[in-house]
Structure 1
Amino acid sequence: MLWLVALLGLSIGVVGLAVYQVLATNRDRRTFQPPGALIEIEGKRLHYRVMGEGHPIIVVDSGQGGTHLDWQLVQPEVAKFTRIVTYDRAGYGWSDSGTEPRTAKQIVKELRQLLKEAGIAPPYILVGMSLSGLFTRFFAYQYPEEVAGMVLVDVTHERINERMPIAMVKLNERFDWLAIHVLPMMARIGLFRLLVLFDRLPLASDLFKKLPIAIKSAAQSIYAQTQFWQTLGQESAAFSVSIQQVEQARSKKLFPEIPLMVLSSGKPDFGGTQELLQIMQELHADLANESPQGVQIIAQKSGHAIQLDDPELVIDIIRQVVEKARCSSTA
């Protein structure tokens, strides 16, 4: 009888938390209005933000779990010398969830549609960070005539699992399993909302400290949403397919001869090790070799989120690529 009472109490508690999660999410959506514009793509709304004037246009994509908010130490400064677009991939930030698998091919398709519908014409300088480095490179392989330059910010490389120690590969596989099967359920009953409320969300708590104070609350509300964790799991589930798509595209198509700057973090971050840091720097050197104009730079003061740890460096690198692209267009 006691077990039955305990099970009933637990069930009521879970239902109560799930109801609270829905109500709190709706409250957050009323409180934190989209800073940019919403545009409908394939039956869902995607959120993007444009600042500045000039060409070529900078188009920025964020890492896994990232939003356009991650670039708000960079975007206003870049807007002083050219036009810059940041956006939230489907399922993140103020964008609706996607119905298709979150592969590189699908994400690039949605981004190009967004740019077209918003009247933002190429050529673009693509900026990719972490996981989205796969997407920006896939974009360049598939549509080289639309890309005038590229900045890669501590990005994922398709050969990362080949180079990492087996223990680290297993650790990543366990995280992916949790991201796909467990974390969305935890989010649905509001557990991440409680962790955010008490500033106890692993890794994200450190990230929040790096964001401008004015947008910290909005970022926390995003991390508390169920769709955020569902999307994180969907991107993890699609990771191997995205890797295959990039490998196939790289084997069949030449990377365009464009200004290319590859930024690598200079110190371990988010639980990383010195060994992993060295591996990533070597893989980034490989990416810099894709273009005759490729250059790798080590961000000595920064961990993984270089755009937050050392935004001045990222701004300067983007400026250099813009200037080189402008010279090439007038030559």
Structure 2
Amino acid sequence: MLWLVVPLGVLIGVVGLGAIYQALATNRDRLMFLPPGKVIQIDGKNWHYQVMGEGRPTVIVDSGSGGTHLDWQLVQPEVAKFTRILTYDRAGYGWSDLSSEPRTAEQVISELRQLLREVEIEPPYVLVGMSLSGLFSRLFAYHYPEEVAGMVLVDVAHEKMYDETPVEWVELNKRLEGLLTYVVPIMGRIGLLRLLVTFDSVPMAAGLFQKFPPSMRPLAKALYSQTQFGKTFAQESAAVSISMNQVKQIRQTKPFPDIPLIVLSAGKPDFDITQDVLQKLQELHADLANESPQGVHIVAHETGHAIQLDKPELVIDAIRQVVEKVRCSSEP
């Protein structure tokens, strides 16, 4: 039995050392990288948010799966020149505490509204959603149309995305979601995720970090290496289908508000996106633009999924257009 016991003991030792390394490194990161915004306690949990600029309507920005307020650091200062803008870290990301609640769209918008009340950011809002958070922004507008004056959607997920895209791509993504649900939290706890992120050994993450300015990359890597990041990313992956169904159901029973709406689509395939999938996603985004009589669909031909990092000026301009239309419509 020695041939079995020795490797098992070595494995247990490596895992134990990895967990200790991860705990120490996470504490070090917390001391080294302080939150750039404000941290507020709500029901005993810390929430991190950052407000810049003045004026109304206030722009409320949400990130894609795994994203933090950092994703908008090329956009937020520019938008702050013409109105007030709030970015924040959803529960479990960045400097916001973990949540034990399922990370569904319904739960996320409930938490966001509570945050906005606590920090006294009054409606109406211009909501900006990117990727997964496009589901959150739209569900917010369906539930609370009187609070939403405009919207910008940045290469967002669609509730019919798995129904109308090629079966092979859907199966691949669902298998990946299932894998992430179980594997990423373990990798996070034992320090393996931190190791891979540090040495740019995760192609998707490495490509994302290259989009950040060099001065921001150490902080971005630290946030993606946190133990809570792995757990939260898995929770959100497990809830994607539920969030899609929540939007499907409400779309059948409630009209989308008649508001200024700009939907941006990636024009270049990246990650696991093929040209066929990209074209279908663009068609689904056109469908979203048609939800509002004031909707406009724009394809960003020179950029992939992370438009706010690849071509931030496109997102800034879309937000500016929506804000100006909102202001014009509110004038006597």
Bin for the TM-score computed over the shorter chain: over 0.9
TM-score normalised by L of structure 1: 0.98
CA distance in 2, matches of 1:54, 1:38: 22
Gaps of at least 5 residues in structure 2 are none
Q: Secondary structure at the match of 2:139?
A: helix
Q: Name the count of aligned residue pairs.
A: 331
- Greater mean deviation of Cα atoms: 76-85 or 198-207: 198-207
**Corresponding residue of 1:183:** 184
Say whether residues 1:89 and 2:90 are aligned partners. yes
TM-score normalised by L of structure 2: 0.98
- Give the deviation of 1:271 after TM superposition: 2.6
- Give the deviation of 1:292 after TM superposition: 0.5
**Corresponding residue of 2:309:** 308
- Give the deviation of 1:182 after TM superposition: 1.1
Say whether residues 1:158 and 2:159 are aligned partners. yes
**Corresponding residue of 1:126:** 127
What amino acid sits opposite 1:13 in the alignment? V
**Corresponding residue of 2:115:** 114
1:125-164 deviations in Å (ceiling 9; x for gaps): 0000000000000000000000010000000000001111
1:86-140 deviations in Å (ceiling 9; x for gaps): 0000001111011110011110000000011001100000000000000000000
CA distance in 2, matches of 1:17, 1:117: 39
Say whether residues 1:63 and 2:64 are aligned partners. yes
Q: Judge conservation of contact 1:262–1:288 (CA < 8 Å) in 2.
A: yes
Percent identity between the aligned chains?
Answer: 64
Task: Spell out structure 1 runs of 4+ moving beyond 4 A.
Answer: none
CA distance in 2, matches of 1:32, 1:283: 39
CA distance in 2, matches of 1:261, 1:83: 19
Say whether residues 1:215 and 2:216 are aligned partners. yes
CA distance in 2, matches of 1:46, 1:53: 22
1:35-86 deviations in Å (ceiling 9; x for gaps): 1011122331111000000000000000001000000000000000000000
Matches within 5 A, 1:190-269: 190-269=191-270
What amino acid sits opposite 1:121 in the alignment? E
CA distance in 2, matches of 1:275, 1:188: 37
Q: Judge conservation of contact 1:103–1:238 (CA < 8 Å) in 2.
A: yes
Q: Secondary structure at the match of 2:203?
A: coil
What amino acid sits opposite 2:128 in the alignment? V
Gaps of at least 5 residues in structure 1 are none
CA distance in 2, matches of 1:266, 1:42: 42
**Corresponding residue of 2:49:** 48
Relative to 1, partners in 2 of residues 1:215 and 1:180: Cα closer, same or farther, differing over 3 Å? same
What amino acid sits opposite 1:135 in the alignment? F
CA distance in 1, matches of 2:197, 2:111: 30
CA distance in 1, matches of 2:286, 2:55: 30
**Corresponding residue of 2:282:** 281
